[in-house]
Amino acid sequence: MIKITFIGAGSTIFARNVLGDCMCTPALCKSEIALYDVSEERLNDSEIILRTLNKNINQDRAVIKTYLGTVNRKKALANADFVVNAIQVGGYDPCTITDFEIPRKYGLNQTIADTLGIGGIMRGLRTIPVLRDIAKDIEEVCPKALFLNYTNPMSILTGYMQRYTKVRTVGLCHSVQKCTEELFTNLDIKGQLDGHTELIAGINHMAWLLDIRDKDGQDMYPQIRKMAAAKNAGMKHDDMVRFEYINNLGYYCTESSEHNAEYNNFFIKSKYPELIEQFNIPLDEYPRRCKKQIAEWEEERDRILKNGKITHKRSLEYASYIMESIVTNTPYKIGGNVLNTNLITNLPAEACVEVPCLVDGNGVIPCHVGKLPVQLAAMNQTNINVQLLTIEAAVSKNREHIYHAAMLDPHTSSELSIPDIKKMCDELIEAHNEYMADFQ
């Protein structure tokens, strides 16, 4: 029997989607599913939802077991074939709130703060120690398991696992699957999706749509560039930052404009506050989103528990397709986050890059991309600097490298002085307290 362990199963909506996908997959529907979390309440919610889903769509063919707390983590992982990671260390309250409130005191505004910037740095630093312990358990009780990481900051956490543990790891993000569809939808040319081909590569949340061709093999970028420029000049919309990338860098990228607004030094600038309005940038978007999601989940949970009505159709999330491909030795293509083993030749070997990968019974096999356009590699490098220094800080337990990561972050360094950057880092480390035990 295939065993799938879900770490962070209290992420109920995501666990439902990924594990619901597995229940919809013939090769996986009879798996043993181990749900693990450190929150008893959230774990109980997920267990109820998934048992109901298993009954409604899978004739109770999956075997579902729950494991609470770190003392039971090895039991949850024992003999697992696949480990899905969706933890959020520190949660929305207090840690995410802290990651926004303290930087705001220093005049540093953020939109999402889970991937880069000071918020991404802090999230990475409080998560790596937990991953370190999880990796030790995997190496001991399920050394052949494939670790499917969905937790942000993707490049920092996946890169740590790939460089400093023996765990077979791939990072997964749905922004690759959605990239071209979002572009075509925002340009109102969604009907041209049929039969198109594409090449996407770079780093997570800033992988580039390098080539896009219609069903006849014709390059679509000349049309896309004209339309993107016209739309940004003519109206306000939700994807203005990425369209500005097209206008000035020549290419579209994978993750949303609200994310990318804080990955550079171009848009969120206290000296030019009018840019926020001009490019329709939603400051403090993630806290608002968290509050909304928490409220919506509580309503949905109560509704499901009341009438038991829950169903699921297989989504586009990569996890179940990867598992199915490996189990059945059926080739499948993904966009995966992997160590840069000469895959993108003008990015560092230590970087975690997002490239096309083939999956089959041998596992995840990344594909060689070659050289990115120089301006795109340069944009990626500004983010990679922060990622590598954050990993270095976590591994060395050297507070100076936290300062270095923040000093080299494009957005942070464009807004704050070095003394204020260091002071802000110190205040965040103190506020996160137990989660930053390595730096106290």
Over residues 214-229, the pLDDT tens digits come to: 999 999 999 999 999 9
Confidence label for 440 from pLDDT (cuts 50, 70 and 90): confident
Confidence label for 353 from pLDDT (cuts 50, 70 and 90): very high
Which pLDDT score, from 0 to 100, does residue 296 have?
81
Render pLDDT for 379-427 as a digit per residue (tens, 0 to 9).
999 999 999 999 999 999 999 999 999 999 999 999 999 999 999 999 9
Judged by DSSP in three states, 394 sits in helix
What percent of the chain lies above the pLDDT cut of 70?
100
Identify the H or E element spanning 400.
Answer: helix 399-408
Confidence label for 299 from pLDDT (cuts 50, 70 and 90): confident
Cα separations in angstroms, 172 against 73, 105, 225, 398, 438: 22, 34, 28, 29, 28
Q: What angle do CA 263, 270, 235 make, to 5 degrees?
A: 70
Task: Return binding residues.
Answer: 152, 173, 205
Render pLDDT for 192-206 as a digit per residue (tens, 0 to 9).
999 999 999 999 999
Render pLDDT for 15-70 as a digit per residue (tens, 0 to 9).
999 999 999 999 999 999 999 999 999 999 999 999 999 999 999 999 999 999 99
Amino acid type, 131: L
Mean pLDDT across 224-247? 97
Instruction: Please say whether the beta carbons of 209 and 255 come within 8 A.
Output: no
Report if pTM > 0.85.
yes
Which pLDDT score, from 0 to 100, does residue 381 have?
98
Task: Return binding residues for substrate.
Answer: 152
- Whole-angstrom Cα distance, residue 60 to residue 172? 28
Which pLDDT score, from 0 to 100, does residue 346 have?
98
Which pLDDT score, from 0 to 100, does residue 297 have?
78
Quote helix, strand, coil % in the chain, to nearest 5.
Answer: 55, 15, 30
Which pLDDT score, from 0 to 100, does residue 47 have?
95
How many residues are there in the chain?
440
Q: Does the structure show a pLDDT above 80 at 304?
A: no
Q: Does the structure show a pLDDT above 80 at 157?
A: yes
Which pLDDT score, from 0 to 100, does residue 307 have?
76
Task: Return binding residues for Mn(2+).
Answer: 173, 205
Render pLDDT for 1-19 as a digit per residue (tens, 0 to 9).
999 999 999 998 899 999 9
Mean pLDDT across 75-93? 97
Mean pLDDT across 95-104? 98
Identify the H or E element spanning 203.
Answer: strand 197-203
Phi-psi region of 47 (alpha: psi -120 to 50; beta: other; left: phi over 0): alpha
Which pLDDT score, from 0 to 100, does residue 295 have?
84
Amino acid type, 165: T
- Can you spell out the DSSP letters for 194-247? TT-EEEEEEETTEEEEEEEE-TT--B-HHHHHHHHHHHHHH---TTHHHHHHHH
- Whole-angstrom Cα distance, residue 352 to residue 203? 7
Instruction: Please say whether the beta carbons of 95 and 123 come within 8 A.
Output: yes
Is 432 known to be catalytic? no
- Whole-angstrom Cα distance, residue 275 to residue 259? 15
Instruction: Please say whether the beta carbons of 423 and 399 come within 8 A.
Output: no
- Average pLDDT of the chain, as a whole number: 96
Judged by DSSP in three states, 76 sits in helix
Which pLDDT score, from 0 to 100, does residue 277 have?
97
Identify the active-site residue in 174, 237, 312, 368: 174
- Of 32-36, 248-252, 296-300, 429-433, which range is least confident? 296-300
- Residue ranges of E strands in 340-418: 352-360, 363-366
207 token code pair: 């992988």
Tokens 């000071």 correspond to what residue? 118
Q: Does the structure show a pLDDT above 80 at 308?
A: no
Which pLDDT score, from 0 to 100, does residue 306 have?
75
Which pLDDT score, from 0 to 100, does residue 274 have?
97
Residues contacting residue 235 through CB under 8 Å, at least 6 positions apart = none
Mean pLDDT across 97-109? 98
Which pLDDT score, from 0 to 100, does residue 370 have?
98
